[in-house]
Structure 1
């Protein structure tokens, strides 16, 4: 049975917009994956380590019947094919693809935690997520995306700006 999966994508090296567009194409080329939604792209400050360039972030919605760990490995292969090197946690990267939500499932595996453990703190995830899934309810605690986003906006210090001519804003 197909699951609705939400992916966070980000880049802060090279041509960031081109990196995100390439990643989206590569994700769409994975056998058994259908892209069903793409958010606008957002310019955001770095998270975790501030001495690096701004990020460009977005959210991609897919449908797949691929098991979660297989999907994770396929997405990591996309990152590697695009030249991603995992040198340091929260360091600069040309592409980052995270599984945010996998259907209604809650997972706490060594390799994969769903919902993504930091997503509720990150405006660069919540803003594009709310854009394409304003009806979203988190599977672990039943919180609505609107409530979670409002709390993050109250607590957050991030300056987040929508990039003109990005996917959702181009229609």
Structure 2
């Protein structure tokens, strides 16, 4: 079993409800145990597309699944929840990203671990800091140190 972290995001159709629904689906996966989530955060959208703010969180759990089957399970949850991939960085009902798994690294076309561009993304690092501030990401550093290097002023916890 390995600790795994998944980033969650939504900016359509009641985003907090979509995140709660996705967390329920993840918790129901065979081979997933002890799921916990960061608080939900509101963050401006990433990229050039005009759209509503996102609600983001990071989930942590024990996984008996290898990274590739876990990624497939997450993509299946996205499909069941109505995710449509229309444009890069566009609005979405749900987005689930496998961020990191302890003891695992990948550099393939389909899966890269740790997830690329983590060090640039306040909407990932600010919630993740709530769960695992001292987690060391291979080649990147600790979550708390990475979060200090990004602008978290626009990434605010939901009341």
Tell me, yes or no, whether TM beats 0.5.
yes
Match status 1:149 vs 2:147:
yes
Equivalent position SS for 2:141: coil
* Cα RMSD after superposing both structures: 1.3
Q: Deviations over 1:15-67 (max 9, x none)?
A: 10100000000001111111432100000000013411100000000111111
* Alpha-carbon separation, structure 1, partners of 2:140 and 2:45: 29
Equivalent position SS for 2:116: coil
1:72 corresponds in structure 2 to 71
Label 1:35 to 1:91 Cα distance change in 2 as closer, same or farther (>3 A).
farther
- Deviating above 2 A after TM superposition, structure 1's stretches of 4 or more consecutive aligned residues are none
Equivalent position SS for 2:6: strand
Equivalent position SS for 1:152: coil
2:157 corresponds in structure 1 to 162
How many residue pairs get matched?
Answer: 159
TM-score by length of 2: 0.95
Tell whether the 8 Å contact from 1:35 to 1:60 is kept in structure 2 after alignment: no
* Alpha-carbon separation, structure 2, partners of 1:127 and 1:101: 15
* Alpha-carbon separation, structure 1, partners of 2:58 and 2:38: 5
